[in-house]
Amino acid sequence: MVQQWRAAGLTYLRYANICADFVRKALKEPKRTEALSRTTFEMTKSEWSEGKVAKRESLTQEAERNNVSSSNK
């Protein structure tokens, strides 16, 4: 049997990260932001071809996309 995420073309790492993200988001508040803050990064990727930078792209992940706790107060 082929799993649906595999059929959709995800790699295992992507799938595992999405799952982990859902678990983090299911946490209650003090722990939630703490856990989500551990997944942020801000990198720049450059692709090279024949000794020159061909393409630049930023690989980023924001800390918190929705401030549930502050909006619910």
Partner 1 sequence: MAAMQRSFMNVVSKSRNLVGSNPRTPSWSLNRNRTADQALLLATENNTSSGVDFQVRFASLKAVRSRMRSVASISKITKAMKMVAAAKLRGVQARQESSKPFTAGLKSFLKSTFSEIEGKETSGNHLIVAVTSDRGLCGGVNSNVVREIRKLLHEDKQNQYAILLCGDKGRDGLQRLYRNLFVVTIKDVFRAPVNFAQTCVVAEEIFKQKFDSVAIFYNHFKNAISQVVTRKVIPGLDIILKHAETFDSYEFESDMDSAQTLTDLYEFQFAVQLFDALLENATSEQAARMSAMDNATRNASEMYQKLTLTYNRQRQSVITGELIEIISGAEAL
Pick the piece of the chain touching partner 1 (CB under 8 A) from 25-33, 50-58, 64-72.
50-58
Closer by beta carbon to partner 1, 65 or else 73: 65
Cβ contacts of 46 within 8 Å, gap of 6 or more: 53, 55, 56, 57
Alpha carbon distance 71, 28 (integer Å) = 15
Give which of 31, 41, 38 is closest to 62, Cα–Cα. Answer: 41
Pick the piece of the chain touching partner 1 (CB under 8 A) from 25-33, 41-49, 65-73.
41-49
Residues interacting with partner 1, by CB under 8 A?
1-2, 6, 11-14, 16-17, 20, 38-48, 50-52, 59, 61
